[in-house]
């Protein structure tokens, strides 16, 4: 799909990989809607990259339905959806204060997994009503997983579970939406210098850099955006999760439990 002139929605677009993706799509001529729950930040980001800021909590059905309606009215229905919204929770399942509260687990699942499904269901419904482009394509949906989805990651049980589920959801929906001409893929990044990564202590970031075969550094979020552009352009990519990890294999520790 050629992105010029197409409407694109990017969730979690206020910063990190979402911001980089929104900027790249806008630079390529797409009409970009930036979804994020942080109103002031997404407004500033949208102004900087040249897009429409839309305050949206992807874990809330009404909020997301209103956001899609705003995009339809101002930019037209979207043919491109990039799901970058997500939150971490760095904690052991059983720590010094006892078991992890279920509410913390459920919150991560609500944003990462349910939020991804929430936007997909709305975007796919719109795409199915659009006229087909070349080869019958009506749209492309790109989700964000993680190497944690397949490798696991200690002390991030909710995050890892959510990303593993998104990986499976991506493959299932690529099959389900295939006859409608909608591609569904995921990118599984690691070692990207995002706000989530910078939440880790410097020594943890250095340890992660050390696990990278080559190059031994954290990557700029722009590498994620470049892959998004390629996925949009290459219609033979479908139904898979593409690792974007500098060749890293095996999960890394993000923290150690404190206390006994």
Active site residue 159: yes
* 34 vs 12: CA distance, rounded Å: 8
CB 51 within 8 A of CB 21: no
Q: Phi and psi (nearest 5°) for 118? A: -60, -45
Q: What is the largest CA-CA distance in the chain?
A: 61
Helix (H, G, I), strand (E, B) or coil at 241: strand
Strand pairing partners for 158?
A: none
Catalytic residue among 159, 177, 224, 252, which?
A: 159
Helix (H, G, I), strand (E, B) or coil at 248: coil
Least Cα distance to 104 among 193, 256, 35, 95 occurs for 95
SS3 content of the chain, % helix, strand, coil (to 5): 45, 15, 35
Q: Report, as residue numbers or ranges, the catalytic residues.
A: 159
């Amino acid at each position: 799909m050629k992105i010029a002139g197409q409407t694109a929605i990017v969730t979690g677009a206020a910063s990190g990989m979402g911001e980089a993706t929104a900027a790249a799509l806008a630079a390529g001529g797409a009409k970009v809607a930036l979804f994020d729950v942080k109103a002031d930040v997404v407004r500033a980001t949208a102004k900087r990259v040249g897009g429409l800021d839309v305050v949206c909590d992807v874990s809330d059905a009404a909020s997301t339905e209103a956001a899609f309606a705003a995009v339809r009215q101002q930019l037209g229905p979207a043919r491109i959806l990039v799901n970058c919204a997500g939150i971490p929770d760095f904690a052991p399942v059983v720590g010094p204060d006892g078991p992890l509260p279920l509410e913390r687990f459920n919150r991560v699942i609500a944003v990462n997994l349910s939020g991804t499904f929430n936007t997909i269901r709305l975007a796919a419904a719109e795409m199915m009503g659009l006229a087909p482009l070349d080869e019958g394509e009506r749209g492309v949906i790109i989700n964000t997983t993680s190497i944690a989805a397949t490798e696991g990651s200690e002390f991030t049980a909710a995050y890892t579970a959510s990303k593993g589920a998104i990986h499976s959801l991506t493959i299932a929906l690529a099959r389900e939406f295939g006859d409608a001409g909608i591609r569904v893929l995921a990118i599984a990044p690691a070692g990207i210098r995002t706000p989530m990564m910078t939440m880790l202590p410097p020594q943890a970031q250095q340890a992660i850099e050390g696990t990278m075969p080559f190059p031994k550094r954290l990557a700029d979020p722009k590498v994620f955006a470049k892959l998004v552009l390629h996925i949009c352009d290459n219609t033979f990519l479908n139904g898979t999760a593409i690792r974007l990890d500098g060749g890293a294999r095996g999960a890394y520790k993000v923290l150690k439990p404190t206390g006994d």
